[in-house]
Amino acid sequence: MLDHEEIVRLYGPWRSRTPQDAAALLAVYGGQWWIAGGWAIDAFVGSSREHGDLDLGIPRGSLEGFIDFVSPGLDVWAAAGSLTSLFGGSAPQLPESVGNLWLRASGADPWEYDVMLEAVEGGTWTFKRDARITRPLIDCLWEHHGFTYLRPEIQLLLKAKDLRPKDDFDFERCLPILEASNLAWLAGALVAAHPDHPWIERITRQSRS
């Protein structure tokens, strides 16, 4: 996975956005959305780190309505190893390999938001890289100061594949304060999806302490 500096070099800069900015953009949007990525970890641990962008999440099934809502002011691009413009109503035909949307006002402007498309069916979230891992969507989200965030154990599972330094830092910030039941859930999900992941042993040690 490319790091943020390489993404900027290849595709252009990102504007610094906050949860407040996202809430203003989506104030009258009727669909479900939440704040994800490092900002979600910050909200849980009560401290912040530097962020290259702001990640949002939406159910994949609401893709068309979301694009219709934001497209009057923002261009929408499918991001999956390369960028594909979604002009002309091509959203419903997006392949499953496309897991993110990038939004910006125009080609002359910085990118604004990175939107993660999550598999949600009948109120159940399914992990995009291992369909054996599921959870009620209501248990994947939490509220804090008027914003809906992705729960940290879900975000850490999403981060686990690439294990960049910032992802390991986020794990270390969450480890001492995650509830035992959610640590156990994360450990089980990692064993299923990434059985050799170093976080498994660290969770085990934390659980024994």
According to DSSP H, which parts of 46-179 are helical? Answer: 63-70, 152-159, 165-174
Q: Is the dihedral of CA 175, 179, 184, 185 positive or negative?
A: negative
| Nearest CA-CA partner of 177 in 198, 197, 156 | 156
- Residue 90 pLDDT more than 90? no
Rounded to whole angstroms, the Cα distance separating 23 from 54 reads 12
Tens digit of pLDDT for each residue in 154-184? 999 999 998 899 999 999 999 999 999 999 9
Phi, psi of 123 (to 5 degrees): 80, 5
Tens digit of pLDDT for each residue in 51-72? 999 999 999 999 999 999 999 9
The answer to pTM > 0.85 is yes
Residues in a beta bridge with 103: 76, 113
Rounded to whole angstroms, the Cα distance separating 207 from 71 reads 46
Across the range 86-96, mean pLDDT stands at 72
Domain 4-151: which topology? Beta Polymerase; domain 2 (3.30.460)
In the numeric block, which tokens belong to residue 150?
A: 């992705």
In the numeric block, which tokens belong to residue 173?
A: 């910030």
Mean model confidence pLDDT for the chain: 94
Domain ranges within the chain, ordered by starting residue: 4-151
Question: Tokens 């992941």 map to which residue?
Answer: 197
In the numeric block, which tokens belong to residue 90?
A: 């091509």
Q: How confident is the model at residue 28 (pLDDT cuts 50, 70, 90)?
A: very high
